Amino acid sequence: MKVRGRNYRTVWLDRKTLKMIDQTCLPHSFRVASFKKYFDVADAIRTMVVRGAPAIGAAAGFGLALAALSYRGRDAEELRDELASARAVLAGSRPTAYDLFDALDYVFSAKDECSVEKIKLRAATLAQQYADISVERCRRIGVHGARLIKSRSSVLTHCNAGALAAVDFGTALAPIRFAHKASKKLFVFVDETRPRCQGSRLTAWELAQEKIPHAVIADNAAGHYMRTGRVSLCIVGADRIALSGDVANKIGTYEKAVLAKENRIPFYVAAPVSTFDMNAISGDSIPIEERSPDEVTHIQGKNMNSVRVASPGSPALNPAFDVTPARYITGIITEKGVIRPNKAAIRGLARG
Ligand code: MRU
Protein backbone atom coordinates (compact mmCIF):
# COMPACT_ATOMS: atom_id res chain seq x y z
CA MET A 1 0.00 0.00 0.00
CA LYS A 2 1.15 3.54 -0.69
CA VAL A 3 1.54 5.88 2.26
CA ARG A 4 2.70 9.39 1.38
CA GLY A 5 4.02 8.03 -1.92
CA ARG A 6 6.03 5.19 -0.32
CA ASN A 7 5.20 1.48 -0.57
CA TYR A 8 4.52 -0.27 2.72
CA ARG A 9 3.44 -3.68 3.87
CA THR A 10 1.52 -3.88 7.15
CA VAL A 11 4.11 -6.20 8.77
CA TRP A 12 7.64 -7.02 7.63
CA LEU A 13 10.85 -8.50 8.98
CA ASP A 14 13.87 -6.21 8.89
CA ARG A 15 16.84 -8.46 9.76
CA LYS A 16 15.99 -9.65 13.31
CA THR A 17 13.38 -6.96 14.00
CA LEU A 18 9.70 -7.25 13.20
CA LYS A 19 8.15 -3.97 12.04
CA MET A 20 4.45 -3.14 11.92
CA ILE A 21 2.37 -0.14 11.04
CA ASP A 22 0.92 0.79 14.45
CA GLN A 23 -2.82 0.70 13.78
CA THR A 24 -3.73 2.08 17.20
CA CYS A 25 -2.30 5.47 16.13
CA LEU A 26 -4.14 5.76 12.80
CA PRO A 27 -5.58 7.91 11.35
CA HIS A 28 -4.05 10.65 13.53
CA SER A 29 -0.43 9.64 13.11
CA PHE A 30 1.52 7.16 11.02
CA ARG A 31 4.01 5.24 13.19
CA VAL A 32 6.01 2.07 12.70
CA ALA A 33 6.44 -0.15 15.79
CA SER A 34 9.44 -2.52 16.21
CA PHE A 35 9.60 -5.88 18.00
CA LYS A 36 12.43 -8.25 18.82
CA LYS A 37 10.66 -10.69 21.18
CA TYR A 38 7.81 -13.05 20.34
CA PHE A 39 5.89 -12.21 23.54
CA ASP A 40 5.85 -8.53 22.55
CA VAL A 41 4.45 -9.60 19.18
CA ALA A 42 1.71 -11.58 21.00
CA ASP A 43 0.96 -8.44 23.00
CA ALA A 44 0.81 -6.33 19.82
CA ILE A 45 -1.77 -8.76 18.41
CA ARG A 46 -3.77 -8.70 21.67
CA THR A 47 -3.78 -4.90 21.86
CA MET A 48 -4.48 -4.57 18.12
CA VAL A 49 -1.33 -2.73 17.09
CA VAL A 50 -1.79 -5.23 14.25
CA ARG A 51 -5.28 -6.60 13.50
CA GLY A 52 -7.28 -8.16 10.66
CA ALA A 53 -7.09 -11.90 10.00
CA PRO A 54 -4.30 -12.21 7.38
CA ALA A 55 -2.18 -9.51 9.07
CA ILE A 56 -2.48 -11.26 12.43
CA GLY A 57 -1.43 -14.50 10.73
CA ALA A 58 1.68 -12.99 9.14
CA ALA A 59 2.62 -11.20 12.40
CA ALA A 60 2.28 -14.44 14.39
CA GLY A 61 4.39 -16.31 11.82
CA PHE A 62 7.13 -13.70 12.07
CA GLY A 63 6.76 -13.78 15.89
CA LEU A 64 7.50 -17.50 15.88
CA ALA A 65 10.51 -16.87 13.62
CA LEU A 66 11.76 -14.28 16.16
CA ALA A 67 11.49 -16.92 18.89
CA ALA A 68 13.83 -19.14 16.84
CA LEU A 69 16.22 -16.35 15.84
CA SER A 70 16.65 -15.10 19.42
CA TYR A 71 17.56 -18.57 20.78
CA ARG A 72 21.12 -18.45 22.12
CA GLY A 73 21.72 -22.15 22.99
CA ARG A 74 23.06 -25.05 20.92
CA ASP A 75 20.52 -27.73 21.70
CA ALA A 76 17.99 -28.42 18.91
CA GLU A 77 15.64 -30.23 21.32
CA GLU A 78 15.65 -27.21 23.67
CA LEU A 79 14.94 -24.90 20.71
CA ARG A 80 11.99 -27.11 19.70
CA ASP A 81 10.59 -26.75 23.25
CA GLU A 82 11.04 -22.97 23.08
CA LEU A 83 9.22 -22.87 19.76
CA ALA A 84 6.35 -24.90 21.22
CA SER A 85 6.01 -22.43 24.15
CA ALA A 86 6.21 -19.42 21.81
CA ARG A 87 3.59 -20.98 19.57
CA ALA A 88 1.24 -21.43 22.58
CA VAL A 89 1.71 -17.80 23.67
CA LEU A 90 1.10 -16.46 20.14
CA ALA A 91 -1.91 -18.77 19.66
CA GLY A 92 -3.42 -17.37 22.88
CA SER A 93 -3.28 -13.76 21.65
CA ARG A 94 -6.68 -13.70 19.86
CA PRO A 95 -9.12 -16.59 19.39
CA THR A 96 -11.25 -15.98 16.30
CA ALA A 97 -9.11 -15.23 13.21
CA TYR A 98 -8.16 -18.62 11.75
CA ASP A 99 -5.18 -17.23 9.82
CA LEU A 100 -3.32 -16.94 13.13
CA PHE A 101 -3.38 -20.71 13.65
CA ASP A 102 -2.75 -21.43 9.97
CA ALA A 103 0.43 -19.28 10.03
CA LEU A 104 1.68 -20.80 13.29
CA ASP A 105 1.31 -24.33 11.88
CA TYR A 106 3.17 -23.27 8.74
CA VAL A 107 6.18 -21.78 10.54
CA PHE A 108 6.23 -24.36 13.35
CA SER A 109 7.09 -27.07 10.83
CA ALA A 110 10.66 -25.60 10.90
CA LYS A 111 11.18 -27.68 14.06
CA ASP A 112 11.63 -30.77 11.86
CA GLU A 113 15.04 -29.54 10.69
CA CYS A 114 17.96 -31.37 12.29
CA SER A 115 20.13 -28.58 13.79
CA VAL A 116 19.72 -25.26 15.61
CA GLU A 117 21.06 -23.27 12.66
CA LYS A 118 18.81 -25.07 10.19
CA ILE A 119 15.70 -24.59 12.38
CA LYS A 120 16.44 -20.86 12.65
CA LEU A 121 16.99 -20.43 8.94
CA ARG A 122 13.90 -22.48 8.06
CA ALA A 123 11.64 -20.58 10.52
CA ALA A 124 12.71 -17.21 9.09
CA THR A 125 12.30 -18.47 5.50
CA LEU A 126 8.85 -19.94 6.18
CA ALA A 127 7.60 -16.78 7.93
CA GLN A 128 8.72 -14.65 4.98
CA GLN A 129 7.22 -17.13 2.51
CA TYR A 130 3.92 -17.08 4.41
CA ALA A 131 3.74 -13.28 4.19
CA ASP A 132 4.62 -13.27 0.47
CA ILE A 133 2.03 -15.94 -0.32
CA SER A 134 -0.54 -13.95 1.64
CA VAL A 135 0.16 -10.85 -0.49
CA GLU A 136 -0.26 -12.84 -3.71
CA ARG A 137 -3.54 -14.36 -2.46
CA CYS A 138 -4.95 -10.92 -1.74
CA ARG A 139 -3.82 -9.63 -5.13
CA ARG A 140 -5.74 -12.44 -6.81
CA ILE A 141 -8.81 -11.77 -4.66
CA GLY A 142 -8.59 -8.24 -6.04
CA VAL A 143 -8.50 -9.47 -9.64
CA HIS A 144 -11.44 -11.90 -9.21
CA GLY A 145 -13.50 -9.52 -7.07
CA ALA A 146 -13.08 -6.49 -9.34
CA ARG A 147 -15.11 -8.32 -12.02
CA LEU A 148 -18.14 -8.15 -9.71
CA ILE A 149 -17.98 -4.36 -9.50
CA LYS A 150 -19.58 -2.55 -12.45
CA SER A 151 -18.78 1.06 -13.23
CA ARG A 152 -21.09 3.54 -11.45
CA SER A 153 -21.74 1.18 -8.57
CA SER A 154 -21.57 1.76 -4.85
CA VAL A 155 -20.11 -0.79 -2.50
CA LEU A 156 -20.81 -1.06 1.22
CA THR A 157 -18.09 -2.49 3.45
CA HIS A 158 -17.86 -3.17 7.16
CA CYS A 159 -14.84 -2.93 9.48
CA ASN A 160 -11.42 -2.78 7.82
CA ALA A 161 -10.57 -5.60 5.45
CA GLY A 162 -8.01 -3.49 3.61
CA ALA A 163 -4.25 -3.62 3.20
CA LEU A 164 -3.90 -2.83 6.91
CA ALA A 165 -5.83 -5.99 7.77
CA ALA A 166 -3.64 -8.10 5.47
CA VAL A 167 0.02 -7.89 4.52
CA ASP A 168 -0.94 -5.85 1.45
CA PHE A 169 -3.94 -5.13 -0.86
CA GLY A 170 -6.53 -6.39 1.68
CA THR A 171 -9.40 -8.79 1.10
CA ALA A 172 -12.68 -6.84 0.79
CA LEU A 173 -10.81 -3.70 -0.28
CA ALA A 174 -8.67 -5.50 -2.89
CA PRO A 175 -11.55 -5.75 -5.45
CA ILE A 176 -12.39 -2.10 -4.76
CA ARG A 177 -8.73 -1.09 -5.30
CA PHE A 178 -8.53 -3.05 -8.57
CA ALA A 179 -11.87 -1.75 -9.87
CA HIS A 180 -10.75 1.83 -9.11
CA LYS A 181 -7.43 1.20 -10.84
CA ALA A 182 -9.36 -0.01 -13.91
CA SER A 183 -11.03 3.44 -13.93
CA LYS A 184 -14.45 2.13 -12.93
CA LYS A 185 -16.48 4.86 -11.26
CA LEU A 186 -17.39 3.72 -7.77
CA PHE A 187 -18.35 4.96 -4.37
CA VAL A 188 -17.77 3.21 -1.06
CA PHE A 189 -20.09 3.36 1.96
CA VAL A 190 -17.77 2.83 4.95
CA ASP A 191 -19.53 1.52 8.05
CA GLU A 192 -18.06 3.29 11.06
CA THR A 193 -17.85 -0.11 12.87
CA ARG A 194 -18.27 0.58 16.53
CA PRO A 195 -16.87 -0.07 19.04
CA ARG A 196 -13.30 0.28 17.75
CA CYS A 197 -14.20 2.18 14.58
CA GLN A 198 -11.99 0.22 12.18
CA GLY A 199 -14.19 1.58 9.36
CA SER A 200 -14.01 5.29 10.14
CA ARG A 201 -10.39 5.15 11.37
CA LEU A 202 -8.72 2.65 9.04
CA THR A 203 -10.84 1.93 5.94
CA ALA A 204 -11.56 5.63 5.43
CA TRP A 205 -7.84 6.38 5.84
CA GLU A 206 -6.85 3.73 3.28
CA LEU A 207 -9.44 4.87 0.74
CA ALA A 208 -8.33 8.48 1.20
CA GLN A 209 -4.69 7.44 0.51
CA GLU A 210 -5.86 5.94 -2.81
CA LYS A 211 -8.28 8.81 -3.57
CA ILE A 212 -11.22 6.38 -3.83
CA PRO A 213 -14.54 8.23 -3.38
CA HIS A 214 -16.19 7.24 -0.11
CA ALA A 215 -18.16 8.39 2.93
CA VAL A 216 -18.21 7.13 6.49
CA ILE A 217 -21.70 6.22 7.70
CA ALA A 218 -22.92 5.42 11.20
CA ASP A 219 -23.46 1.68 11.55
CA ASN A 220 -27.20 2.28 11.92
CA ALA A 221 -27.38 4.07 8.54
CA ALA A 222 -26.61 1.02 6.36
CA GLY A 223 -30.27 -0.13 6.24
CA HIS A 224 -31.42 3.30 5.11
CA TYR A 225 -28.98 3.38 2.18
CA MET A 226 -29.81 -0.20 1.20
CA ARG A 227 -33.60 0.31 1.28
CA THR A 228 -33.38 3.50 -0.77
CA GLY A 229 -31.45 1.74 -3.56
CA ARG A 230 -28.11 3.44 -3.01
CA VAL A 231 -26.01 0.29 -2.39
CA SER A 232 -25.19 -1.93 -5.41
CA LEU A 233 -23.34 -4.65 -3.51
CA CYS A 234 -21.69 -5.37 -0.16
CA ILE A 235 -18.17 -6.80 0.25
CA VAL A 236 -16.80 -7.69 3.68
CA GLY A 237 -13.83 -9.70 4.96
CA ALA A 238 -13.82 -12.75 7.22
CA ASP A 239 -12.03 -13.93 10.34
CA ARG A 240 -12.99 -17.58 10.04
CA ILE A 241 -15.13 -19.51 7.59
CA ALA A 242 -16.69 -22.83 8.54
CA LEU A 243 -17.12 -25.80 6.19
CA SER A 244 -20.84 -24.95 5.94
CA GLY A 245 -20.01 -21.51 4.49
CA ASP A 246 -21.01 -19.67 7.69
CA VAL A 247 -18.70 -16.69 8.17
CA ALA A 248 -17.40 -15.08 11.36
CA ASN A 249 -16.48 -11.44 10.81
CA LYS A 250 -16.56 -8.15 12.73
CA ILE A 251 -19.60 -7.65 14.95
CA GLY A 252 -22.39 -6.11 12.87
CA THR A 253 -21.65 -8.09 9.71
CA TYR A 254 -24.62 -10.42 10.30
CA GLU A 255 -27.17 -7.63 10.43
CA LYS A 256 -25.75 -6.06 7.24
CA ALA A 257 -26.10 -9.43 5.48
CA VAL A 258 -29.72 -9.81 6.60
CA LEU A 259 -30.47 -6.27 5.42
CA ALA A 260 -28.79 -7.00 2.08
CA LYS A 261 -30.92 -10.12 1.51
CA GLU A 262 -34.11 -8.24 2.48
CA ASN A 263 -33.22 -5.59 -0.14
CA ARG A 264 -32.00 -8.09 -2.81
CA ILE A 265 -28.44 -6.71 -2.72
CA PRO A 266 -25.57 -9.17 -3.43
CA PHE A 267 -23.53 -9.81 -0.29
CA TYR A 268 -19.95 -11.04 -0.89
CA VAL A 269 -17.29 -12.17 1.55
CA ALA A 270 -13.64 -11.87 0.44
CA ALA A 271 -11.13 -14.22 2.06
CA PRO A 272 -8.01 -16.25 1.27
CA VAL A 273 -7.84 -20.03 1.90
CA SER A 274 -5.94 -19.34 5.15
CA THR A 275 -9.23 -18.09 6.68
CA PHE A 276 -11.14 -21.36 6.06
CA ASP A 277 -11.29 -23.70 9.04
CA MET A 278 -12.03 -27.12 7.55
CA ASN A 279 -12.55 -28.52 11.06
CA ALA A 280 -15.36 -26.11 11.93
CA ILE A 281 -18.52 -27.86 10.74
CA SER A 282 -20.66 -24.72 11.10
CA GLY A 283 -20.49 -21.19 12.48
CA ASP A 284 -21.52 -22.54 15.89
CA SER A 285 -18.05 -24.09 16.31
CA ILE A 286 -16.26 -20.74 15.81
CA PRO A 287 -14.99 -19.14 19.05
CA ILE A 288 -16.17 -15.54 19.38
CA GLU A 289 -13.79 -13.19 21.17
CA GLU A 290 -15.21 -11.06 24.01
CA ARG A 291 -13.19 -7.86 24.43
CA SER A 292 -13.07 -5.30 27.19
CA PRO A 293 -16.33 -3.43 27.90
CA ASP A 294 -14.23 -0.25 27.95
CA GLU A 295 -14.16 -0.38 24.14
CA VAL A 296 -17.95 0.15 24.20
CA THR A 297 -18.21 2.62 27.06
CA HIS A 298 -15.32 4.78 25.83
CA ILE A 299 -14.20 6.31 22.53
CA GLN A 300 -10.56 6.85 21.71
CA GLY A 301 -9.43 10.08 20.10
CA LYS A 302 -6.07 11.56 19.18
CA ASN A 303 -2.98 10.70 21.29
CA MET A 304 -4.82 7.64 22.72
CA ASN A 305 -7.16 9.97 24.64
CA SER A 306 -10.04 7.90 25.88
CA VAL A 307 -13.40 9.56 26.65
CA ARG A 308 -16.29 7.84 28.38
CA VAL A 309 -19.48 8.13 26.31
CA ALA A 310 -21.69 5.68 28.23
CA SER A 311 -23.55 6.59 31.37
CA PRO A 312 -21.13 6.29 34.34
CA GLY A 313 -21.42 2.98 36.14
CA SER A 314 -23.39 1.18 33.39
CA PRO A 315 -21.80 -2.12 32.36
CA ALA A 316 -21.31 -3.06 28.70
CA LEU A 317 -20.98 -6.22 26.61
CA ASN A 318 -18.49 -6.46 23.78
CA PRO A 319 -18.50 -9.47 21.43
CA ALA A 320 -15.89 -8.67 18.77
CA PHE A 321 -17.37 -10.87 16.01
CA ASP A 322 -20.63 -12.43 14.87
CA VAL A 323 -21.53 -15.29 12.56
CA THR A 324 -23.37 -14.74 9.28
CA PRO A 325 -25.13 -17.94 8.18
CA ALA A 326 -24.23 -19.10 4.66
CA ARG A 327 -27.78 -18.52 3.36
CA TYR A 328 -27.20 -14.74 3.47
CA ILE A 329 -23.97 -14.91 1.45
CA THR A 330 -24.04 -14.60 -2.35
CA GLY A 331 -20.47 -15.80 -2.84
CA ILE A 332 -17.00 -15.96 -1.32
CA ILE A 333 -14.26 -14.23 -3.30
CA THR A 334 -11.09 -16.30 -2.89
CA GLU A 335 -7.73 -16.27 -4.67
CA LYS A 336 -9.01 -19.25 -6.66
CA GLY A 337 -12.18 -17.52 -7.85
CA VAL A 338 -15.66 -16.82 -6.51
CA ILE A 339 -17.21 -19.85 -4.83
CA ARG A 340 -20.63 -20.65 -3.37
CA PRO A 341 -20.75 -20.74 0.44
CA ASN A 342 -21.30 -24.48 0.83
CA LYS A 343 -19.45 -27.61 1.92
CA ALA A 344 -18.76 -28.98 -1.58
CA ALA A 345 -17.26 -25.75 -2.88
CA ILE A 346 -15.21 -25.18 0.28
CA ARG A 347 -13.86 -28.76 0.24
CA GLY A 348 -12.95 -28.15 -3.42
CA LEU A 349 -10.79 -25.18 -2.36
CA ALA A 350 -8.65 -27.40 -0.15
CA ARG A 351 -8.09 -29.83 -3.03
CA GLY A 352 -6.67 -26.99 -5.13
O1 MRU B 1 -10.96 -7.07 15.44
P2 MRU B 1 -10.29 -6.90 14.10
O3 MRU B 1 -10.08 -5.48 13.71
O4 MRU B 1 -9.05 -7.75 13.99
O5 MRU B 1 -11.36 -7.51 13.08
C6 MRU B 1 -11.05 -7.51 11.72
C7 MRU B 1 -12.17 -7.98 10.87
O8 MRU B 1 -13.21 -8.37 11.35
C9 MRU B 1 -11.91 -8.06 9.40
O10 MRU B 1 -13.08 -7.85 8.68
C11 MRU B 1 -11.36 -9.46 9.05
O12 MRU B 1 -10.26 -9.78 9.86
C13 MRU B 1 -10.98 -9.58 7.64
S14 MRU B 1 -9.45 -8.81 7.36
C15 MRU B 1 -8.94 -8.88 5.77
Residue-wise pLDDT for 96-153, tens only, equals: 999 999 999 999 999 999 999 999 999 999 999 999 999 999 999 999 999 999 999 9
- pLDDT-wise least confident of 67-76, 99-108, 164-173, 304-313: 304-313
Residue 34: pLDDT band (50, 70, 90) is very high
Does the CA dihedral 276-129-141-260 come out positive or negative? positive
In testing the pocket of ligand 1, which one of 49, 158, 160, 201 has its CB within 8 Å of the most ligand atoms?
A: 160
Task: Identify whether the C-beta of residue 231 lies closer than 8 Å to the C-beta of residue 265.
Answer: yes
Which atom from ligand 1 is nearest to the alpha carbon of 249? Answer: 8
Residue partners of 342: CB distance under 8 A and separation at least 6: 244, 245, 326
Using CA atoms, how far apart are residues 21 and 10, in angstroms rounded to an integer?
Answer: 5
In testing the pocket of ligand 1, which one of 102, 159, 300 has its CB within 8 Å of the most ligand atoms?
A: 159
Is pLDDT above 90 for 302? Answer: no
Which atom from ligand 1 is nearest to the alpha carbon of 51? Answer: 4
Is pLDDT above 80 for 79? Answer: yes
What integer pLDDT is reported at residue 255 of this predicted model?
Answer: 98
Q: How far away, in angstroms, is 78 Cα from ligand 1 center?
A: 35
Does the CA dihedral 212-213-218-219 come out positive or negative? negative
What integer pLDDT is reported at residue 127 of this predicted model?
Answer: 98
Q: How far away, in angstroms, is 66 Cα from ligand 1 center?
A: 24
What integer pLDDT is reported at residue 350 of this predicted model?
Answer: 82
Does the CA dihedral 109-112-116-117 come out positive or negative? negative
Using CA atoms, how far apart are residues 23 and 164, in angstroms rounded to an integer?
Answer: 8
Q: Is the pTM of this model over 0.95?
A: yes
In testing the pocket of ligand 1, which one of 101, 198, 219 has its CB within 8 Å of the most ligand atoms?
A: 198
Percent of the chain whose pLDDT exceeds 90:
96
Q: How far away, in angstroms, is 204 Cα from ligand 1 center?
A: 15
Total number of residues shown for the chain? 352
Is pLDDT above 80 for 303? Answer: no
Q: How far away, in angstroms, is 249 Cα from ligand 1 center?
A: 6
Cis, peptide link before residue 175, omega less than 30° from 0: no
Asked about 239 being catalytic, the answer comes back as: yes
Q: How far is CA 154 from the centre of its chain?
A: 22
Q: Give the β-pairing of 11-14 and 17-21.
A: antiparallel
Q: Give the β-pairing of 153-157 and 233-236.
A: parallel
Taking only the tens place, the pLDDT of each residue in 214-236 is: 999 999 999 999 999 999 999 99
Q: What is the mean pLDDT of residues 267-278?
A: 98
Residues within a 6 A CB radius of ligand 1: 51-54, 97, 159, 161, 165-166, 170-171, 198, 237-239, 249-250, 320
Is pLDDT above 80 for 304? Answer: no
End-to-end CA distance of the chain: 28
Q: What is the mean pLDDT of residues 312-320?
A: 97
Burial class of residue 321, CB neighbours in 10 A (0-12, 13-18, 19+): buried
Q: What is the mean pLDDT of the chain?
A: 97
Residue partners of 288: CB distance under 8 A and separation at least 6: 95, 96, 248, 319, 320, 321, 322, 323
Q: How far away, in angstroms, is 324 Cα from ligand 1 center?
A: 14
Nearest CA to ligand 1 atom 5: 52
CB atoms within 10 A of CB 9: 21
